[in-house]
């Protein structure tokens, strides 16, 4: 016991160094984000600027819309696959896993090459970006939804509900979906943080059409160091909040199991 304590005591200085190494840059970025351009005093100007520009709304819209669309498509697909075409499940898995292997730039360039000259709404850049994000987050959404469905034994729950007088669709959305909601939300959170952190796809497809958070961050690098720090802090806090929510939901899910 005493020996163990000695070992731990010897580790303390190393731990302090590691913590300082991790925390110090963050503290410096926080301080810098509150500094005015003059370098004297503290100010909220940079944060006010971020939340009063269109960037905020655009980033939220571009991040949230693909998640909703993908979650809906995956849920409906899984409903059909589970109940009517269980043999297709392995093909759906392969299909949904393919985007893992495709790098963002290849995906974006391919989409651009295919649709840039397409007629009407098909070449709309917002739509292209939303659709590409749907493809990019497909593996994460699929894995989350599929493993949640497996853990609740969805086919058997639907059968149990049917025996009590429910229709299949009602049973799926009333019984199965509430039980996999935590898994769906966690996948959505993960997807949101991926989209929030993306620069390559947004820059290739969006370019000058609109600014997402990452593009805005890239542009501010050349304008103001203090504002860049503020953008980094916002992105960091959003990702942290998402991670904490996902973590607490996962804990709740484990408790329910």
x/- mask, other proteins, residues 67-96, rule CB under 8 A, reads ------------------------------
Q: What is the 3-state secondary structure (H, E, C) of 43-102?
A: CCHHHHHHHHCHHHHHHHHHHHHHHHHHHHHHHHHHHHHHHCCHHHHHHHHHHHHHHHHC
CA distances for 110 relative to 28, 116, 132, angstroms = 40, 10, 10
Q: Which of 19, 42, 72, 160 binds other proteins (CB under 8 A)?
A: 160
Piece of 25-33, 65-73, 139-147, 153-161 that binds other proteins (CB under 8 A): 153-161
Pick between residue 73 and residue 83 the one whose CB is nearest to other proteins: 83
Q: Which is nearer to other proteins, 151 or 219 (CB)?
A: 151
Judged by CB under 8 A, which stretch of 7-15, 19-27, 109-117, 154-162 contacts other proteins? 154-162
Instruction: Pick between residue 146 and residue 220 the one whose CB is nearest to other proteins.
Output: 146
Tell me how far the alpha carbon of residue 18 is from its chain's centroid: 28
Count of positions on this chain that bind other proteins (CB under 8 A): 18
157 part of the interface to other proteins, by CB under 8 A: yes
Question: Among the candidate windows 30-38, 151-159, 208-216, 234-242, which touches other proteins by CB under 8 A?
Answer: 151-159
**Smallest separation (angstroms) from other proteins to the CB of 143:** 21
30, 65, 69, 152: which one binds other proteins (CB under 8 A):
152
The residue (of 154 and 235) whose beta carbon lies closer to other proteins is: 154
Binding mask 165-184 for other proteins (x = CB under 8 A): xxx-------x--xx-----
Among 92, 159, 194, 218, binds other proteins (CB under 8 A): 159
| Alpha carbon distance 246, 163 (integer Å) | 34
Which spans of this chain sit near other proteins (rule: CB under 8 A)?
152-153, 156-157, 159-167, 175, 178-179, 256-257
């Amino acid at each position: 016991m005493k020996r163990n304590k000695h070992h731990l005591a010897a580790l303390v200085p190393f731990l302090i160094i590691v913590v300082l190494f991790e925390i110090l840059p963050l503290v410096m970025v926080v301080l810098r984000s509150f500094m005015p351009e003059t370098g004297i005093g503290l100010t909220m100007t940079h944060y006010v600027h971020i939340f009063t520009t269109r960037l905020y709304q655009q980033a939220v819209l571009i991040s949230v819309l693909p998640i909703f669309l993908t979650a809906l498509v995956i849920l409906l697909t899984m409903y059909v696959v589970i109940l009517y075409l269980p043999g297709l499940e392995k093909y759906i898995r392969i299909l949904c896993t393919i985007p893992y292997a495709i790098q963002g730039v290849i995906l974006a360039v391919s989409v651009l090459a295919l649709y840039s000259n397409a007629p009407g709404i098909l070449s709309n850049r917002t739509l292209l970006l939303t659709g590409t994000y749907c493809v990019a987050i497909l593996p994460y959404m699929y894995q989350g939804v599929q493993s949640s469905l497996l853990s609740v034994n969805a086919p058997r729950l639907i059968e149990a509900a049917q025996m009590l007088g429910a229709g299949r669709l009602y049973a799926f959305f009333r019984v199965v979906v509430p039980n996999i909601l935590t898994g769906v939300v966690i996948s959505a959170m993960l997807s949101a943080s991926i989209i929030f952190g993306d620069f390559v796809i947004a820059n290739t497809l969006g370019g000058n059409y609109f600014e997402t958070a990452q593009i805005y961050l890239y542009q501010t690098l050349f304008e103001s160091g203090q504002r860049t720090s503020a953008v980094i802090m916002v992105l960091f806090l959003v990702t942290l909040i998402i991670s904490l929510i996902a973590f607490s939901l996962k804990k709740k899910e484990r408790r329910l199991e």
